[in-house]
Amino acid sequence: MAFTLDKSAAAFSAAKQHIPGGVNSPVRSFRGVGGTPPFIAAAQGSRLHDIDGNQYIDYVGSWGPMILGHAHPAVTEALREAVGRGTSYGAPTLLETELAELVKAAVPSIDLVRFVNSGTEATMSVLRLARAFTGRSKIVKFAGCYHGHHDSLLVKAGSGATTLGIPDSPGVPEGIAATTLTAAYNDIAGLADIFHRHGEDIAAVIIEPVPGNMGLVLPRDGYLQAVRDLTAKYESLLIFDEVMSGFRVAYGGAQAAFGITPDLTCLGKVIGGGLPVGAYGGRRDIMEYIAPAGPVYQAGTLSGNPLAMTAGITTLKAIGVPGYYDRLSEKTAVLCAGVKAQAEKFGFELQHHQIGSMFGLFFTAEPVYDYDSAKRSDVGAFNTYFHAMLAQGVYLAPSQFEAAFMSSAHSDDDIAVTIAASAAAFAKVAD
């Protein structure tokens, strides 16, 4: 049967009548790659099912959270039970402490953790905390790193902002953007220069230790340690935004994988098991500045929501078992090696990156180590590849500048099918 998206196309037109651009988060609109986004009816394991009856092997995983795959039986069952006990109380629960303990056991740099509802909320709150704790106002971020859509950090952000060509959004006051200094990722000399000029004013450096929002970019040897050393020298705080990499590249996140201890950490995605959760945590003396322990205000009607906590607890217990990450990484390596072999067969020299179950490829023969080098990719070639994969039932993120995610629900057969689809897609790009 020919691949069609007729029902999705109609649904997309209808959605645009009611929702800006027809979507509730920009990159879902396929604006970067063109065409119609499949409207999803259901998801199970490694598969997404759309309203036209197509099914896809899913490497987006809701942009990272679905490490166990969709509708994992343990998570689904736990949620079913939890929902019968009520969906929100606005009062403390044992679940919050249980998830906090699990997070702390996995991420030793965290003494205290505060749960919020999204990654954006986590990074927004952590900046207020860093500024209050240090009494300084400036923040350093890295070009191509995305930390959510609040004003301070929507400056040279990657992700949808790159795809849509809106590096800085209108509506961000100049005064706020001016407190955000931008450095190039993987360039320690550039960061040292910023510290040399502004060191006394810098409250914090916020970094995706393994950036996944300009495509997947890996830190050079020693880079993260050098960032740690510089921040310590100037008594600025180091914030690891592990909303994506946390519980993804390793159970303890990138900080465990690279052995670096940040002062503060932001989490999200996996810790919510597919429900809306974010978190920020870190050193006790800093976190005790947060209300009601301290003076820095941050609150949330639905924060620590019992359903979200339940999904998070069940997910962390399932992925915390010995060998889980080794198996997931090995599976991802098999897929990446297979795709690379197919690319080479068709004469493409591409950049294939992988860490744990995060992976991605850049359509460029030159090494990619920062935002500028990522942007040298051939977006047209990616778009052709993307649509050829989609038509064969493989769902990748609709942008060259996003990472892909493996789940433990992906089977060897899924991987073999994906590699075969890749061969046909590269043939199309070569055409």
- Asked whether 316 and 247 are in contact (CB, 8 A), the reply is yes
Minimum CB separation of residue 271 from ligand PLP in Å reads 11
Minimum CB separation of residue 213 from ligand PLP in Å reads 5
- Give the contacts of 142 (CB within 8 A, at least 6 positions apart): 156, 182, 183, 184, 185, 207, 208, 211, 370, 371
DSSP assignment of 47-61, as one string? EEEETTS-EEEESSG
Q: Which is nearer to ligand PLP, 120 or 373 (CB)?
A: 120
Minimum CB separation of residue 37 from ligand PLP in Å reads 17
Minimum CB separation of residue 242 from ligand PLP in Å reads 7
> Which residue in the list 138, 141, 156, 269 is annotated as catalytic?
269
Minimum CB separation of residue 91 from ligand PLP in Å reads 24
Q: Which is nearer to ligand PLP, 96 or 121 (CB)?
A: 121
Is residue 292 reached through a cis peptide bond, with omega within 30 degrees of 0 on the bond before it? yes
Instruction: Point out which residues bind ligand PLP (CB under 6 A).
Output: 63, 118-120, 123, 146-148, 208, 212-213, 241, 243-244, 268, 278
Number of H helices, E strands in the chain: 15, 14
- Asked whether 267 and 280 are in contact (CB, 8 A), the reply is yes
Q: Which is nearer to ligand PLP, 216 or 390 (CB)?
A: 216
Q: Which is nearer to ligand PLP, 194 or 270 (CB)?
A: 270
Residue that is written with structure tokens 């890996």 in the block: 218
- Give the closest residue to 127 by CA, choosing from 178, 180, 193: 180
Q: Which is nearer to ligand PLP, 273 or 278 (CB)?
A: 278
Minimum CB separation of residue 357 from ligand PLP in Å reads 15
Q: Which is nearer to ligand PLP, 120 or 305 (CB)?
A: 120
Burial 185-219 (b: 16+ CB within 10 A, else e): bbbbebbbebbeeebeebbbbbbbbbbbbbbbbbb
Q: Which is nearer to ligand PLP, 27 or 425 (CB)?
A: 27
Q: Which is nearer to ligand PLP, 267 or 339 (CB)?
A: 267
- Give the closest residue to 234 by CA, choosing from 146, 154, 140: 140
| List of long-range contacts for 317-325, beta carbons under 8 Å, 24+ apart | 317/74, 317/102, 318/68, 318/72, 318/74, 318/75, 319/67, 319/68, 319/247, 319/251, 319/270, 319/408, 320/102, 320/106, 320/251, 324/251, 324/408, 325/250, 325/251, 325/356, 325/357
> Which residue in the list 56, 59, 146, 280 is annotated as catalytic?
146
Tell me the residue number closest to ligand PLP, measured at CB.
119
Minimum CB separation of residue 210 from ligand PLP in Å reads 9
- Give the closest residue to 54 by CA, choosing from 73, 41, 36: 41
How distant, in Å, are the alpha carbons of 50, 58, 149, 210 from that of 70?
Answer: 14, 9, 26, 24
Burial 100-132 (b: 16+ CB within 10 A, else e): bebbeebbebbebbbbbbbbbbbbbbbbbbbbb
Minimum CB separation of residue 403 from ligand PLP in Å reads 9
> Which residue in the list 50, 52, 58, 241 is annotated as catalytic?
241
Q: Give yes or no: 269 in active site.
A: yes
User: Which two three-digit tokens encode residue 358?
Assistant: 């995060």
- Catalytic residue positions, numbered: 146, 241, 269
